[in-house]
Chain A
Amino acid sequence: MTSSALLPLMILVPFVGAGIVALLPARRTELFRPIALLTSIVVLGMAVFMLVNFKVGDPGYQFESNTTWIKDLGISLHFGVDGISLFLVVLAAGIFPIALLGSNPDHDPKPYYGWLLVLLAGSIGVFCALDLVVFFVFFEIVLVPMYFLIGLWGHGRRVYAATKFFLYTMFGSALMLVGLIALAVLHQKAVGGPLTFDLVTLAREQALSTTASRWIFVAFAVAFAVKVPLFPLHTWLPDAHTEAPTAGSVLLAAVMLKLGTYGFVRFGLDLFPEASVWAAPVMLTLGVVGIVYGAICATMQKDLKRLVAYSSVAHLGFIVLGIFSITTQGIEGGILQMVNHGITTGALFLLVGMVYERRHTREISALSGLQSSAPVMAGVFTLVMLSSIGLPGLNGFVGEFLALLGAFKGARWWGVVAVTGVILAALYLLWAYQRVFHGKAEGENAKMRDLTWSEGAVLAPLLFLIVFLGIYPKVMLDRIEPSVKALVVHIDRNVEGFDAKDVTPKIAPAAKGAEHGGEG
């Protein structure tokens, strides 16, 4: 079947591309960019094919493929997508060509494109792996290319940022590794049979004792919290984002930050429903702290890129808030927000990168009046910024709104505090815009080039999505909803005393098939 080979192919193709890049001699510098671009477009094509053929209304996994990898350890290459992961895979596949087109390495193109392709393979793999170990493999493997991207092509304190990024994530995933092995071993001891790391089986059978699953949830949660990043573990993010090259920042924002929140949905809620409900207050608090803290920090930044980085902390707080409200709307909002944040923040980083290319500085104080010298860029920046603030009619609004709506149902008081984040977002972004684009342009600022056609072409798809998904989010919601609903039902069924606040959503028309869907 072609459909079952699709996901493995999507992972394999970039690896092959990376292999080709590695084998070509380093002096053929003109070849690497086209090869990388071609590979990523092939992957994007497959992602679009998947999107078109995705059966709306089916809450289970589609395009599944399952091959044994390590028989003695019960690890199998199990891939599949459902509504929760579908758009993240598409986002990952879509953002790569844009990131490739949007920026150039200033030296060593061969390893640059090689590592980017490895990163692409890892990003696709991590979102469609349905085996815990395979997920972990991709979760860790994306570290290596990102480490080199920051370390070799970054700015300023790149080595420090890269090392910090690597070690933080490694620390989290070390605990997760112990957790996932413990999960599989305890599961085997409870139900007998061979060792298995299969997500579907483990989630369905729920064989662990409450205490054990809570401990293991904590181990997973630390790993995901580092990746998200949640409040006390977030300090790697501003450094990594700021020092990374433009493509690295875009990919960090669009793909890597989603690993944590995606992990919470897929491996937190699904595997440990009881523990998730148990830990929800803590997670909600951390999410809200992230929203407010991120916003305050962003306000105080002097570096434009760092400001955007802190705004990510705030946005991801909304996602966590939505997810741990444990309502259909909240989780849907969280997933929408993951995709939208990828699009919006990706675009913001591209724009900041373009400003940096022209002016060689990101200091807000050094920039002013760019509006007059680069009016088109200012316009584009306005649109993207408004989406990031969450203006109704743009994509940022939908996810944030749904997440808050879910929070008001499932976790009212946290929702109340979180709303202040929306106001703060307007404050820091508008203030930054005012300082950078308004005012009088002098010296270098007055001579700055406007957006070129090719740069505009790179940004155009993102701008289109910002507007389109803001007006018509139904295309996404239709596909996300059945899976989310099944997830909430799964939690409802497995947690005593938990009352799913809304199994019938009110915002978007639900696909009818969802009512009799199992949890996959």
Chain B
Amino acid sequence: MTAAVLQNVLASVGGLPSIEFSSVAPSIILALGGVLLLTVVSVTKDKLPVWFPAVWTISAAVAALCTVFRLWIRVGKWGNLSLISGAVGLDRFSLFVIGTLCVSVVMGALLLEGYLRREDLEGPEWYVLLLLAAAGGTTMAAANDLIVLFIGLEILSIAVYILSAMHRRRMSSLESGLKYFIHGAFASAFLLYGIAMVYGATGSTNLARISTFLADNVITQNGLMLGGIALMLVGFAFKVAAVPFHQWAPDVYQGAPTPVSAFMAAAVKTAAFAGMIRVFVLALGPTYRDEWRPMVLALAVLSLLVGSVMALVQTNVKRMLAYSSIGHAGFILVAVHSSTAMGTSAALFYLLSYTFMVMGSFGVVAVVGRKGDGHHQLSDYRGLGRIRPGLALAFTIFLLAQAGVPLTAGFLSKFYVIRSAIDSGDTALGVVAMLAAVIAAFLYLRVIVAMYFEGEPGDEVAPVKVPAAVSVAIGIALAGTLLLGIVPDPVTHAANEATAELVAPRR
């Protein structure tokens, strides 16, 4: 009886969708890693060594990275696919983003390991949330459906809200978590409202269907569509902290535990930009680019200028990095604005480079913050060049890379972005972006001045301990920053190949 009903139902919808688990393997590994870690730790109680959660997390991220490589080859063989009834797009764009996210999980876990020990906050929850957040990010990156994209974004965001508030002994951490939660909830609401409107206008939440629908039909009264585009853009702009939707970023970056700020700057930005590119460049690019490009242009210019200028007046290094990350978001928006395959690869390269640069920077900030995570004034960096020359040199390289000095990843990523802007005819935008980069350079120099030029010998701040795990993370970031600047060929090649495509679902 039930079997007959089931048959009947299945016949009416054309059969159950086939679920290709291998195509979402990275997301599954990360999510499962998180859940299993929670289970294992709660079953074994305190019998496990302290380093276990960190090692587990890193292994999960590395395993996910391995599947990314496998899938990369598979896509090369079979082409881009749309799977699980069109909910997941398997293409090299999403794989590149997923790879970037895995890298930031590895570095984030290493930073957390040293940080939690110093702050006496060890516990598996941090790593569980880190892994689940990354799973949300990977889901977003591969989403071919607005609903999936939204849920991915929520998984990522909610996990990061909690992580920001988890240093419970610091008031500012709690404040940061709350602020991020409220702003983020607004952003999600905007995004969801936008999605609903676009659904109303096009009759589908599937990006490929939306794209096809818009290509085949002319919507004569497109108020609904335009409203939806605007609201979705607002939602994404909140998430990437683009001006004027950036107010939360400085407070949240400053208050959150430093490794979490690092993860926020790298992974949340990466995933949100991936979602933005999928929706705007891919689904709406061919038909509605003339409508959304001016809005993105305004966001980009404002972010570049406000981010750089506001960063100059800060004396708190975490706040400075927050504003500078707004400026970097402006740069990536320039790439998004060009709305071409070249712009997409520029954004991808930028995101990977930025992951290394910003993770490294926040890594240094985390150790200089010392116990209590509160020493973040510029004066706390006085004489760092004398007491920890290696650490200071690493920070100098990260900062110069962010300023765009050649032979670092930062230079080539700016190069890529400017090229994509000029290629689509926006030379003026390129000039604005580079001028903003010069303004921002002054801010990075201020930190370098504090580290090397200020104070007399003997006048240094208290010694800084660098845990082994953190030095490994900084080492990875340094290697990434320099290698991407000196021998970028494999990565530029991959970024060029990683153009996304919307494949219509089979049914």
Contacts and interface: CB of A to CB of B under 8 A. Distances in A.
- Tell whether any CB of A sits under 8 Å from a CB of B in the complex: yes
B149 interface: no
B438 interface: yes
Interface stretch (B33-41, B265-273, B399-407): B399-407
A495 interface: no
19 contacts: A69-B489, A71-B493, A72-B489, A72-B496, A73-B492, A137-B406, A137-B411, A141-B407, A159-B453, A159-B454, A163-B449, A167-B441, A170-B438, A171-B438, A174-B435, A178-B431, A181-B415, A181-B430, A185-B422
B319 to A, nearest CB: 20
B42 to A, nearest CB: 47
A73 B431 contact: no
A215 to B, nearest CB: 8
Give the size category of A's interface with B.
20 to 34
Contacts of A111: 389
Contacts of A73: 415-416, 419, 492
B407 A181 contact: no
A273 to B, nearest CB: 22
Contacts of A133: 415
A101 interface: no
A66 to B, nearest CB: 16
Given A174-B438, A181-B430, 16 more contacts: A71-B492, A73-B415, A73-B416, A73-B492, A111-B389, A137-B406, A141-B405, A148-B452, A162-B453, A163-B445, A163-B449, A170-B441, A171-B438, A177-B418, A178-B418, A181-B422
A162 B412 CA distance: 25
Interface residues of B, number: 34
Given A26-B389, A159-B453, A175 B489 contact: no
Top 4 A-B residue pairs of the complex, sorted by shortest distance between their CB atoms: A174-B434, A137-B406, A72-B492, A178-B430
Contacts of A136: 406
B288 interface: no
A69 B411 CA distance: 15
A175 B449 contact: no
Nearest to B449: A159
B423 interface: yes
Interface string B116-150: 00000000000000000000000000000000000
Contacts of B406: 136-138, 140-141
B453 A185 contact: no
Interface of B is mostly: helix
Interface string B431-454: 100110110011001000100111
Given A143-B405, A163-B442, A166-B445, A158 B418 contact: no
A178 B496 contact: no
A70 interface: yes
B434 A175 contact: yes
B427 interface: yes
B415 to A, nearest CB: 7
B409 to A, nearest CB: 12
Nearest to A158: B453
A277 interface: no
Interface in B442-480: 442, 445, 449, 452-454
A178 B389 contact: no
Nearest to B431: A178
Contacts of B419: 73, 181, 185
A14 B397 CA distance: 19
Nearest to A134: B406
Interface in A105-158: 111, 133, 136-138, 140-141, 143-144, 147-148, 151-152, 158
A41 interface: no
A181 B437 CA distance: 16
B423 A137 contact: no
B422 A182 contact: yes
Nearest to A110: B389
Interface in B54-88: none
Contacts of A167: 438, 441-442, 445
